[in-house]
Structure 1
Amino acid sequence: MTPTARIRLRRACTAVTAAGVLIAPVAAGPAYGTSAPARTAAAAPAVPDARSAPSPDAGRDFPELTPAVAAKLDAAIRDTLREAKVPGVIVGLWAPGKGSYVRTFGVADKESGAPMRTDFYTRIGSQTKTFTVTALLRLVDQGKAGLDDPIGTYVSGVPNGDRITLRELAGMRSGLFNYSEDEEFGKALTTGGTRPFTPRQLLDYSFRHPVQFEPNAKFQYSNTNLILLGLVIEKVTGQPLQRVISEQVIEPAGLHHTLFPTNADFPEPHAQGYTDQSASGDIVDSTDWNPSWAWAAGAMISTMEDLRSWAKTLATGTLLKPATQAERLKTTSAGIPGAGYGLGIFDVQGWIGHNGSLPGYESLGVYLPEERATLVVILNTDVLHDGQEPSTLFGEAITGIVTPDHVYPGHEPTAPRHG
C-alpha cells in the first residue's frame, strides 16, 4: 500500500463532514472546566438577512444550561473523547438567556499530561475559508470585483478560466480538481510537514488533472477554489492576502486573537497536535507543520472566544451589505439531507458556519439563528474514528442533547483526508 493510499487524503475542513454515532458510554476521563467571559464583535451594524434573523420563538426550545444539562453534556463529551481516542477537546456553547457551557477535557500534551485550556490558540483549518470569502465579498460590496466575473480575468492559466466565475469558486461548483487529493502533493506534505508551498505550486498540483465537470454542474469541495480566490484578492488590492484579511475582516470583526500566519510560527499557549497523516501512517506530533499548503483555504489561527464571536458575525452578515449576505446564504445541496453550501459557508440542519481540519487539529464554529446559539469545538487531533471526523462526533453528541431538532450534521461517504 502506498503512503497516499494509507493516509487516505481527506478534505481538511470539508463543508459537511461524515457524521458519527455516539457509542455506548465508557469510563469518563478527566475534565478541566473554566468559564470564559462573553465578547462582542465590534463590527459596523447591518440589517441581518431574513434567513439569519431570529424568530419570535427563538430560544424557546433551547434548554437552560443547568447543572443537570451540563452533566449530560459532560458525559457525552467524555464518552466521545474516550471512544474516539481524542487527546483533548475544548467546548463552548452559548445561548442568550439560557446560560453558557464552557469546558475542557483531556490533555494538551500527551507526554506531559498538561490539560487543555480555554485560552489556547489553535489552527482552524478550513474555517479560514469563511475569512477569505468574506474578504472577497467585501471587495464585491466596494465595487472592486463581481461575483459573476470569470476567474480568467484575474488569474491566467486556469482550466475553463473564461467560464468559471468567482461565485462558483466560492460555492464549490467550479469543477477544478482538488490539489490536496493529488498523490504527489500528499507525499510532499506528509514527509516531514515543514516544507513551504506557494499558491502557484498548489495550483500546479490541481491543473495537472483534467477538470471534473462543467462549471456550476454540481457541488464538489475543492481547496483549489480558495487558492484562486486568495490570488484574486491579492490582484485586486495589490496587497498580501494576510494583510487584506487582517484589515478587512479580522479588525472590523473585533477579533483580537486571530491571525493569518506566513510560516509555521504558532503563538503560545497552544496544545500539541497529533495526526496519522505521516509517511509511515503512525501518529506523530504535527504542531509545527507549515500550514502554507492550505493558505487561503486553511492556514489561519484563532481561539475559542474569537471563534465564538466570528460564528455569529459570519452567520448574521454584519460585515457585509444585506443583499450580499443574502447571496452568501443561498445554499445548494452538499449531497446529504439537511446540508447546503453557500459562499464559503455551510448550513447543516440550521447551524451556519464551517468546520476545519488539518494535520493535528480540528475545529467547528457554528451559529443557530433560530435559537441564537453558538457552538465552538476545538480538538488537538484529526485522526479519524471509524472513518468519521472527530469534530463531527462531538458536534453530533452536543447538539443531540441541546437541539434535537437541529442535530449537527448529516451523513456523507468517507472523504479524502486533505483539503
Structure 2
Amino acid sequence: MSDNTLAPASTSGTSTRRNGPRWRAATLIALTLVAGLGLPAAYGAAYADENTGTGTADARTDMRKTVDGLVADGKRPAALISTRERDGRTRTYTAGVGDLATGAKVPADGQVRIGSNTKTFTAVVVLQLVGEGKIDLDAPIETYLPNLLRGEGVDGRHITVRQLLQHTSGLPEYTQTVAENFTEVQHRYVEPRELLDIALKGKASFPPGAKWEYSNTNYIVAGLLVQKITGRPLAEEINKRVVERIGLRHTYFPQPGDMTIREKHPKGYFAPQPGAPLRDVTVQDPSWGWAAGAMISTNSDLNRFFTALLDGRLLRPAQLKEMRTTVPAEDPVPGSRYGLGLMSKPLSCGGVSWGHGGDIPGYETRGGVTESGRAVNVAVTVLPGDLAALTEVEKAVDGALCR
C-alpha cells in the first residue's frame, strides 16, 4: 500500500461481531452517540405534501407519533419515514431539523447515505450474472479472482461466491480499522484493494461455511468479482442493471471524488466521543464503504427497490429463490435470518419483512417489505450508540408494517 495506508486496528480485543447488518456499534463506537446530543428537547413534525394516497386517519396519526418519537428529547437531529402500499400509494413524514446550524426543515423524502443497503444492490448484480451463466454461486472465488484471498486461515480456494453473499465465509472485518481512523478517510478516496489488504491483516473468524458472521469484507470481494466478470466499474453495472431498470430517480453510487449529496437532504452528524458536540459529516468520501456501503438514495426509492426485487422484476425466479434462502442471523433482531444480501425479520403482527438496513457515519436507515407488498423505510441522521437506540428504529419499522 501507499504511505496513506490506514493504521492497523487496535489489538485490544474489541468485538465487532454482535450487530448484524449494520456498520457495527462496536466498530463505530467512536463515531456514534445517542444520549446527550445537546439538541433541542422537542421538534415539530413536518408532513410531506407529495403524498399520492391519503391512507386512514388513524394510520397517519400513528406514523406522526412514530416520527416525532424518534427525535423527542433531542435523541436525534432528524427522522424521515416513507410508506408505500401495494397499490403504489405513498406517504412521507419528517420530524426534527435538517441542519443544526440553521434550523432548516427536514426535506420531505430527502436523500441520505444508505450504508449497507448497498449490499443488496451488489448482490442483485452478482445474482443477475449467475442467471446469465457467468458466475456459479458454489464455485470458489478463486475461480474468478485467483490468488486474491490469502491470509491467516483465509484461502480463496475454499470460499464460495455464495458464502461471500451470505456472510458465511469467515473473512475478517476491515471496518474497525477504518472507523478508528475515520478522520483520515473522510475526505480521501480509498481503493477497494486497500480495504481488502486491511482485512487480510487479520485472521479468519472461522472456517468457510461453519457459521454466519457479518463482515463487510465479503462485499468488497463481491464488488471486485462484478468488475472482473463484466469488465466495467461496479457503479456503472449497478446503475445500468438496477437503478435505470426500475426507474429509481434519486439513487446513485457516488463516483470517485464525489463527496456531496446531490439533491435535497438532511445533514448527517456524529460525535467523536460520547458527550462531545455533534460534528457535521454530510460531506465525506464513501469509498471506504464501496460495494458494502457507499450508495445514496431516498426512503421512497428504497421502498421501490425492495418491492421491485421481491416482485421478481430484477432477478429470475431461480436466483430470487436463492437470495431468499436464509440462515439464522439473530442480530440485531431475534429471529432474523440472512439470505444473499437480503434479510428477513419477524413482525410482531406475524409473518416477516424483507430488506436490509444500513449505517454509515451520519445516517442510519432501516426498512422492510411484507409479503403483501406493504413497504416502509426509516432514516435518522445520527447513528445509534447502543442497542436500545437501534431497537427503537427497528420498532418504528415494525409498527409501520403492522399498522
TM-score using structure 2 length: 0.82
Work out whether residues 121 and 270 of structure 1, in 8 Å CA contact, stay in contact via their aligned partners in 2: yes
Answering whether residue 398 of structure 2 is matched by residue 399 of structure 1, we say yes
The letter of the residue matching 1:132 is: T
Q: CA separation in 1, counterparts of 2:262 and 2:253? A: 11
User: RMSD of aligned C-alpha atoms?
Assistant: 3.0
Q: CA separation in 2, counterparts of 1:274 and 1:360? A: 4
Q: Which residue of 2 aligns with 1:56?
A: none
User: Superposed, which structure 2 residues align to 1:180-219 within 5 Å?
Assistant: 180-182=175-177, 185-191=178-184, 193-219=186-212
Q: CA separation in 2, counterparts of 1:248 and 1:396? A: 32
Cα 1:382/1:4, change in 2 over 3 Å:
farther
Superposition deviation, residue 69 in structure 1 = 2.9
Q: CA separation in 1, counterparts of 2:166 and 2:74? A: 31
Work out whether residues 378 and 397 of structure 2, in 8 Å CA contact, stay in contact via their aligned partners in 1: no
Among 8, 21, 31, which residue is 2:45 paired with?
31
Q: CA separation in 1, counterparts of 2:274 and 2:284? A: 14
Among 117, 126, 135, which residue is 1:145 paired with?
135
Q: CA separation in 1, counterparts of 2:229 and 2:50? A: 39
Task: Between 393-402 and 192-201, report the one with greater CA deviation.
Answer: 393-402
Cα 1:372/1:5, change in 2 over 3 Å:
farther
Superposition deviation, residue 80 in structure 1 = 2.8
Superposition deviation, residue 393 in structure 1 = 1.5
Q: Which residue of 1 aligns with 2:31?
A: none
Q: CA separation in 2, counterparts of 1:5 and 1:388? A: 27
Answering whether residue 229 of structure 2 is matched by residue 233 of structure 1, we say no
Q: CA separation in 1, counterparts of 2:169 and 2:142? A: 13
Number of corresponding residues: 365
Q: CA separation in 1, counterparts of 2:113 and 2:17? A: 15
Among 317, 322, 326, which residue is 2:321 paired with?
326
Answering whether residue 357 of structure 2 is matched by residue 355 of structure 1, we say yes
Task: Between 352-361 and 193-202, report the one with greater CA deviation.
Answer: 193-202
Higher relative CO (Cα under 8 Å, sequence separation at least 6) belongs to 1
Superposition deviation, residue 75 in structure 1 = 2.0
Q: CA separation in 1, counterparts of 2:195 and 2:276? A: 23
Answering whether residue 247 of structure 2 is matched by residue 254 of structure 1, we say yes
Q: Secondary structure at the match of 1:351?
A: strand
Cα 1:238/1:375, change in 2 over 3 Å:
same
Task: Between 298-307 and 71-80, report the one with greater CA deviation.
Answer: 71-80
Identity over the aligned pairs, expressed in percent?
34
Work out whether residues 185 and 285 of structure 2, in 8 Å CA contact, stay in contact via their aligned partners in 1: no
Structure 1: give runs of 5+ residues left out of the alignment: 19-26, 40-63, 405-419
User: Superposed, which structure 2 residues align to 1:215-294 within 5 Å?
Assistant: 215-262=208-255, 263=257, 264-277=259-272, 282-294=277-289
User: Superposed, which structure 2 residues align to 1:52-131 within 5 Å?
Assistant: 65-83=55-73, 85-96=75-86, 100-131=90-121
Work out whether residues 94 and 373 of structure 1, in 8 Å CA contact, stay in contact via their aligned partners in 2: yes
Q: CA separation in 2, counterparts of 1:359 and 1:9? A: 19
Work out whether residues 174 and 217 of structure 2, in 8 Å CA contact, stay in contact via their aligned partners in 1: yes
Q: CA separation in 2, counterparts of 1:305 and 1:77? A: 15
Work out whether residues 365 and 379 of structure 2, in 8 Å CA contact, stay in contact via their aligned partners in 1: yes
Answering whether residue 21 of structure 2 is matched by residue 15 of structure 1, we say yes
Q: CA separation in 1, counterparts of 2:382 and 2:137? A: 36
Cα 1:74/1:318, change in 2 over 3 Å:
same
TM-score using structure 1 length: 0.80
Answering whether residue 171 of structure 2 is matched by residue 157 of structure 1, we say no
Work out whether residues 118 and 304 of structure 1, in 8 Å CA contact, stay in contact via their aligned partners in 2: no
Work out whether residues 255 and 306 of structure 1, in 8 Å CA contact, stay in contact via their aligned partners in 2: yes
Work out whether residues 67 and 80 of structure 2, in 8 Å CA contact, stay in contact via their aligned partners in 1: no
